Amino acid sequence: MIDGAFSADSMFLFVVLGMTAVTYALRAGGYWVMGRVPITPKMRRGLEALPGAIIVSTILPIILQGGLAVGLCLIVAAAAQIRLKKEYIAVFFAAAAAAGLRVVGL
């Protein structure tokens, strides 16, 4: 391994390049396949519901594992996002809520 600020061994570089290639291939392949599939109204509804389903399936385990404080912070972030429509401000409010909940012991 080369010593220095940006040192990395060859296996690490191989793995990163391999993951990059696989990620690109999957994304490009998805666009290629969907370009050849007829979009029916039923399929369109399913595709439109997909982002919400992905968000719920990502956030629910975090809430279940993190407990009340995490759930409250996510509610604060969602409310701020819906009301203000600014992602960075929603993250700020969630961080402030987390700090406040830590102060009170949650």
Helices 87-104 and 68-84 cross at an angle (nearest 10°) of: 150
Q: For residue 82, give the DSSP letter.
A: H
Q: Which pLDDT tens digit goes with each residue over 79-88? A: 999 999 898 9
**How far is it, in rounded angstroms, from Cα 97 to Cα 95?**
5
Q: How confident is the model at residue 22 (pLDDT cuts 50, 70, 90)?
A: very high
For the segment 9-35, the average pLDDT, to the nearest whole number, is: 93
Q: Which pLDDT tens digit goes with each residue over 24-69? A: 999 999 999 989 999 999 999 998 999 889 988 988 898 889 888 8
User: How many angstroms from the chain centroid is the CA of residue 61?
Assistant: 13
Q: How confident is the model at residue 99 (pLDDT cuts 50, 70, 90)?
A: very high
Q: For residue 8, give the DSSP letter.
A: -
